[in-house]
Amino acid sequence: MRRVSEPAKILVVEDNPEISYLIELALGDARLDVRTVGDGDGALSVAREWAPDVVLLDLGLPGPDGVEVCRRLRGFSNAYVLMLTGRAEEVDKLIGLSVGADDYLTKPFSPRELLARVQAMLRRPRELVGAAPEETGPEESGPVEIDPLAREVRVNGAAVELTKIEFDLLAALMDNARQVHTRDQLRERVWGGSWLADDHAVDVHMSNLRRKLGATGETGMITTVRGIGYRFVPGGRA
């Protein structure tokens, strides 16, 4: 774990030298410890050895692309992942988010916006996201058991593998079961700011969470309140 006195570690994975240089300048001026890599294999190697706090990950990379790098990264790292893409098609954004990315930026973006997003992520250490300080053990709501400390979820006793964001969303919904949570509230809770992720980010992660819970045979526990947000209904009973 990074000590408070140490600068945060930011790994920039970008194959365009000019963009990489501009990002490095913007983050370096903010006293962040920045390393840059230009390909997918190098990114995974550096991430394993250096343990960055945030990874800025370009979608189109030599070797494993950004989606594959993110998927592999999630097997050993808790780093925040901010996807960078020059392609604005919706499918790119949705694919990136589905493998565990926390947010995305579409090029061109301003260095100020990039820095603001990185700093917002760093104000919410990954270990604390989605877990209230007073939580000391597993909690149950209907067939779902969630353990904030171990970051584990079970449905009817069977383990369910969730990404970090999916876990945090479920924890937020279960904090006040049956209560409607707006998308803004969920963005504030999980991403640390309502402007850090758009509605698509929330909806895609929620869809993945609903699918994984539904695969256990328990359906209807996460309901959509049209035009507002979501709520958790234990046992799928409205």
Phi, psi of 80 (to 5 degrees): -65, 140
The string of pLDDT tens digits covering residues 79-133 is 999 999 887 665 666 666 777 788 888 888 899 999 988 988 887 756 533 334 4
Phi, psi of 103 (to 5 degrees): -165, 175
The string of pLDDT tens digits covering residues 172-214 is 999 888 899 999 899 888 877 655 567 888 898 899 999 999 9
Q: Which domains does the chain have, with CATH numbers?
A: 9-123 (3.40.50.2300), 139-236 (1.10.10.10)
Report, as an integer, the average pLDDT of 141-146: 90
pTM for this structure?
A: 0.69
Please, how many CA atoms are within 13 Å of residue 193, restricted to the half-sphere of its CB?
13
With b for 16 or more beta-carbon neighbours within 10 A and e for fewer, the 102-137 pattern comes to bbbeeeeeeeeebbebbebbbebebeebbbeeeeee
- 208's tokens: 């993945």
- What pLDDT is recorded for position 221? 93
- What pLDDT is recorded for position 235? 73
Separation between Cα atoms, residue 184 and residue 215, nearest integer Å: 27
Place of tokens 């970051």: 151
Closest CA to 95 of 69, 119, 114: 69
The string of pLDDT tens digits covering residues 38-82 is 999 999 999 999 999 999 999 989 999 998 999 899 889 889 999
